[in-house]
Amino acid sequence: MSRSAWIALIALTLSMLGRAAEPPDDGASLHRYFTQASAAFCEVEFVQMYRMIKASGIRMGPGDGWFKPSQSRYGWDWLIARFDANKDGKITPDELKGSMFAGLDRDRDGTITSADLDWSDSSSFLRNLAQARQVLQPWDGDGDQKLTKAEWDALFQKLSQGRKEIDAVDLTKLLNPPRPAMPAGMKPPAMPTKALLLERLWTGELGSPFAGPNVGDPAPEFTLKTHDGKQKISLMQFRYQKPVVLIFGSFT
């Protein structure tokens, strides 16, 4: 939560206290201020994360709490506002010509839609891609995430067992390989409890309760030491001189 939001919340709370000192009326004003303060409090990311852990625990999925996908000023809204000439909610090759269309039409269906630019964890394309990579990995001998003809032929021979064709049963074995056996004596890792997640939330191990800058906001000034401690680097040294990439995160 930004500093201005904290100030606004505190000011609203103080205004409620001031109202409490006034002569009581029918209670409508106090109820209205309390409702506004409660709504503002529930919008705080830290509170949302706390409520999510209390409700779901380890069942939190991608995008829950404050674990959101990255943002960019050049997303779907930016693209469609400039190239969707007939305003039908999609972009065709006639509206965006050249190699850029082929690069953005991710599912190769002949049109660019919001799904083609969805890079969140809930994207069906990314889920399918992860499954394809999992199937590919055992047969990718050199680890380049590609299958050569020789690797493909070896896979065909493995599935066909000497036959000249493969059928749906063979493909099922490819798409659903058996899980590797766990070494003797090894137990699966224990999942964190709600109590442990809440403890890590309060200690900051799940992230800072203070939100970082939004897209388009000025980057905060900072001065940090280099890894060897011999120099100091500040953002102001590079501002307006060269492109700078700032990565906001934590090492755990």
Q: Is the pLDDT of residue 65 over 50?
A: yes
- Does 105 fall in a domain? yes
- Does 106 fall in a domain? yes
- Does 76 fall in a domain? yes
User: How many domains would you assign to the chain?
Assistant: 1
Exposed, middle or buried, 53 (CB in 10 Å: 0-12/13-18/19+)?
A: buried
Tokens 């939190």, residue located? 60
Q: Is the pLDDT of residue 21 over 50?
A: no
Q: Is the pLDDT of residue 95 over 90?
A: yes
- The whole-number pLDDT of residue 248 equals 64
- Does 100 fall in a domain? yes
- Does 45 fall in a domain? no
Q: What's the whole-model pTM score?
A: 0.57
Mean pLDDT for the chain overall: 78
* Between 239 and 234, the higher pLDDT residue: 234
- Does 83 fall in a domain? yes
- The whole-number pLDDT of residue 83 equals 95
Q: Is the pLDDT of residue 93 over 80?
A: yes
Residue-range definition of the domain harbouring residue 106: 71-118
Q: Which of 198, 192, 239 is nearest to 47 (CA)?
A: 198
- Does 91 fall in a domain? yes
* Cβ burial 84-114 (10 Å sphere, 16+ → b, else e): beeeeebbbeebbeeeebeeebbeeeeebbe
- The whole-number pLDDT of residue 84 equals 94
SS (H, E, C) 166-223: CCHHHHHHHHCCCCCCCCCCCCCCCCCCHHHHHHHHHHCCCCCCCCCCCCCCCCCCCE
Confidence of residue 170 (pLDDT cuts 50, 70, 90): confident
Q: Is the pLDDT of residue 14 over 60?
A: no
CA–chain centroid gap for 173, Å, is: 32
- The whole-number pLDDT of residue 20 equals 46
- Does 183 fall in a domain? no
Report angle CA 215, 218, 221 to the nearest 5 degrees.
130
pLDDT digits (tens, 9 = 90+) for 33-51: 556 655 555 566 777 778 8
Dihedral sign computed on CA atoms, order 226, 229, 231, 235: positive
